[in-house]
Chain A
Amino acid sequence: MRKLVLALGISIALGGPVVGNDNWPQWRGPSLNGTSDSTGLPLKWTDTENVTWKVELPSRSGSTPIVWGDRVFVTSPSSLGEGEAPVAKGWPSKPKKGEGKDLLFLCLSKKDGSELWRKKIDGANYQIGKHNMSSPSPVTDGKLVWWLTGTGLVTAYTMEGKEVWTADLVKTYVKLGLNWGYGASPLLYEGLIIVPMLHGWDNAGPSYVIALDAATGKEVWKEERKTDAQKEGPDAYTTPMVMKYADHTEIIVVGGDYFTGHDPKTGKEIWRCGGLNLKQDKFYRAVCSPAVVGEYVFACIKQGPFVGVKGGGKGLVTDTHIAWTNKLGCDVPTPVSDGKLLYVLNDGGTLSAYDPATGKAVYERQRLPANGPYNASPLLADGRIYCTNEKGHTVVVASGSEFKVLAENPLNDVYTMSSIAVSGSQLFIRTSTHLYCIGK
């Protein structure tokens, strides 16, 4: 607290940036929605300009770095070193460098990027398309930091790097059978680590949503999550989100062609809503996570339809609780909202903005100057939307009802899939090769 007051004092005295929230404890940040209260964030940078530090990482990863206090947590496969991780399935869109077999959990100093500790969590990394088994992002409460590997190990460490517990979800529950390998990040909520295990392509076994005691790793509840989706349809790469309305709190899960709302205490399904896959397409695997805005939750599978559901339902609510839909949408990037407007970044490189309550388009399909694909989810902070494409180019757009590009910031890369993390007035961007700390 004193530090914050001091920082505020200095900032105001110097007329410089006002420091907002220092911690980015989870993939979508402190509010679980990709927004930050921080101001004075960098607008322009290159791979050498406005870079406070950058460090080389062992290999590529789709996971987003998280920040707590003076620490940054990053996940990565090992470097090629003693042999390449096997390629489970290739659809290589570009020639790529191989990567190692180990799954590494790294803790870096926020000050200069120096490595404080590294742990090998598993030795069974494999490559699958653009993705590997390091894709889920870690989560922390400042006391412990948890990571779930794509191979199904959930592990808890102290901030100093001491292992507290590790649980093997595959051994305990079910083999993960996703067509493109597991990639969901867990949700930390009220002392629970909530993990979706939604799959079906390679495995006829059941899908679950599981809550583990964050302190011990013991199961608190387990809910089988049923679906009539077929083939690849049951596969989901989504992170559960929290929705609060009236006196309810629900955990929202998207995948297998449905939204479901769950009781956080028991995991029991309260409501379920379809509408995400109108034509029963068997390849409608869910990638982007639900975006909660007030009493609405939005999701989209494979670019459409885009569906907004009003909370508060019971049972099957497809006919009663869909607030609005449209045919545009997104596949990988999760939408972002400040409560006023909902911004949908399409993978192909266009941005749309809607009134979240009515679905009225404020603007639609505005072309960003950097080409798609966009895999990272947009960040909304400081009156701007930061959109990072696969090459690591971040286009900064003004938030609000008028589409206006403010800056385009190149970082020469081939595989940037991580979303931006924010701490104070700094941005953390993980490319396939480096972690950048941008801004002062």
Chain B
Amino acid sequence: MTRSLLALLALLATTAVRADDSPMMGGKPDRNMVSGEKGLPLEFDSKSKKNIKWTAALGRTTYGTPVISGGRIFVGTNNDQPRDPTVKGDRGVLMCFAEADGKFLWQAVHKKLETGEAEDYPSIGIASGPCVVGDQVFYVSNRDELVCCSAVNGKAMWSLDMRKELGVSPFQGSASSPLVVGELVFVVTGQGRDHKKNKVLNPKAPSFIAVDKATGKVKWQDSSPGEKIFQGQWGSPSYGVIDGRAQVIFPGGDGWLYSFDPPSGKLLWKFNCKAHEKLDAEGNPETAAQLLACPVIVGHRVIIATGIDTDNDNPGCLRAIDARKSGDVTATAELWKVAGDQFGASISNVAVQDGLVYAVQFKGLVDCYELETGKRVWQHDLLALSWGSPLLADGKLYIRTGDDEVVVLQAGREKKLLAKREVELIQCGSFAAANGVLYIAGKNTLYAIAEAK
């Protein structure tokens, strides 16, 4: 009963926003990088402004994904191009713009942590992609606070300091993108390893939490990865109802996926995404690859790649996992995997549509696989590194590269390069599309791209 009620609430929650908004990273709780937008342009040019509807200045480092809801756009950045001349210095900043014309509306500003680069690396700003529900915006600040603020003016309604209240210590930065389903906010706390002492100082502190949307009170918490976190935890949860069973799935900093019953926090299943790696004599895994991408839920399958962005020669592993089982399902739930020299590290969410999975390897390979079998259909070489997640809309797969390009490939079984466009400083981050417009947050500029009317 509670499950179906929650599922119903989730349905209500997702339909409360305009159908064409993109109110969270990935647009929907399944985090599948597919948008229903049509007619996004292939032709655009940031220099001649062709098909650039508007641009808005951000800070000078932007890792956050833009989200669009209720006529507003929200994006995390830093304070290197201050909007408010009285607020100077390094800050984490959430900026809000008008969707229609990019007009700056407000910003929420957070001071840097006193603990410095160990927990809040200089200049990184706010890296979390917000989740917007009605007039509430949920995001994680650079200070590792889960913040709920007003979409109208940015005023905080409540704030949960996960370091002070929960004993969390993030590694170098906090980046999780919250997910709101019904009355609960789910987020990865960012709990990490102390790099000097090389251990998790407070392994009992939670990694995954569910918080009351209205009050910020913690409803349940889980510290599963405990002392096994390799570095930090910068992933974000996904949500789906699979065979009638609601699940919130968290990527762990130990390389495991953890699925919980959303209202209670009871563990439903877990899967070791590093099971294919050999252990060394001391029991350490072969690589530091972990889960930076979001699990993407498609039907009964969860698809996720392992990887880390500091090393493009690490082997990664792309997997499809059956989410209908219970317990430690590492040995039983794997539907297929692509690993070894066939799949390098990846930090991107996949896009899945029409029985095909599109995955981007960090070293610059775009792969298309059959969802059913994991068989590769084609591969395209970007000849440049790729950090962000792809976005599939209207049969076009948009990918950004470390060489400041947007590459557009045709979706489907036939490989075809549709376009390659240069846009200044867009190495990191993910696309969003809403209401006929494609958004790219570059390092210092937010671009709104649409066919000129």
Contact = CB atoms under 8 A, between A and B. Distances in A.
Interface of A: 87, 89-95, 231-232, 279-283, 303-304, 327-328, 348-350, 365-367, 371-373, 389-391
A367 B383 contact: yes
B446 to A, nearest CB: 15
Given A93-B308, A371-B312, A281 B403 contact: no
A373 B312 contact: yes
B280 A371 contact: no
15 contacts: A90-B196, A92-B288, A93-B288, A95-B287, A231-B123, A280-B80, A281-B60, A304-B404, A328-B403, A348-B364, A365-B403, A366-B383, A367-B383, A390-B313, A391-B313
Nearest 10 A/B pairs, CB to CB: A93-B311, A90-B195, A365-B383, A93-B310, A371-B313, A95-B284, A348-B385, A372-B312, A282-B123, A350-B383
Contact of B384 (A89, A91, A365): A365
Interface in B270-319: 280, 284-288, 308, 310-314
Contacts of B384: 348, 350, 365
Given A92-B288, A93-B310, A373-B311, A282 B404 contact: no
A203 to B, nearest CB: 14
A349 to B, nearest CB: 7
Contacts of B280: 95
Given A87-B196, A371-B312, A373-B312, A279 B425 contact: yes
Given A281-B61, A366-B383, 5 more contacts: A90-B196, A231-B122, A303-B403, A327-B404, A348-B364
A148 B313 CA distance: 31
A327 B422 contact: yes
Nearest to B194: A90
A114 to B, nearest CB: 30
Interface in B67-121: 80
B328 interface: no
A327 B384 CA distance: 12
B383 A87 contact: no
A348 B80 contact: no
A348 B363 contact: yes
Contacts of A391: 313
B363 A349 contact: yes
B402 interface: yes
B443 interface: yes
Contacts of A303: 402-403
A329 to B, nearest CB: 9
Nearest to A280: B60
B381 interface: yes
A87 B313 contact: no
B285 A95 contact: yes
Nearest to A282: B123
B189 interface: no
Nearest to A303: B402
A403 B195 CA distance: 43
A8 to B, nearest CB: 41
A304 B427 CA distance: 12
Interface of B: 60-61, 80, 122-123, 195-196, 198, 231, 280, 284-288, 308, 310-314, 344, 363-364, 381, 383-385, 402-404, 422, 425, 443-444
Nearest to B172: A91
A281 B80 CA distance: 9
Nearest to A366: B383
B184 to A, nearest CB: 34
A371 B310 CA distance: 13
Nearest to A283: B123
Contacts of A93: 288, 308, 310-311, 314
Contacts of A279: 60, 425, 443-444
B403 A327 contact: yes
Contacts of A281: 60-61, 443
Contacts of B385: 348
Given A93-B288, A95-B280, A282 B195 contact: no
B230 to A, nearest CB: 8
B247 to A, nearest CB: 31
B339 to A, nearest CB: 15
B198 A90 contact: yes
Contacts of B313: 371-373, 389-391
Given A282-B80, A328-B403, A348 B196 contact: no
- Counting chain A CB atoms within 10 Å of each CB, the highest count among B280, B308, B312, B314 belongs to B312
Contacts of A95: 280, 284-288
Contacts of B444: 279
Contacts of B381: 367
A294 B14 CA distance: 63
Most buried by B among A282, A371, A372: A371
A371 B443 contact: no
A372 B196 CA distance: 28
Given A92-B288, A95-B285, A371 B363 contact: yes
Contact of A87 (B195, B287, B311, B443): B195
Given A87-B195, A283-B123, A94 B403 contact: no
B227 to A, nearest CB: 16
Nearest to A348: B385
Contacts of B287: 94-95
Nearest to A365: B383
B116 to A, nearest CB: 11
Contacts of B344: 371
Find the residue from A283, A348, A390 having the highest chain B CB count within 10 A.
A348
B317 to A, nearest CB: 15
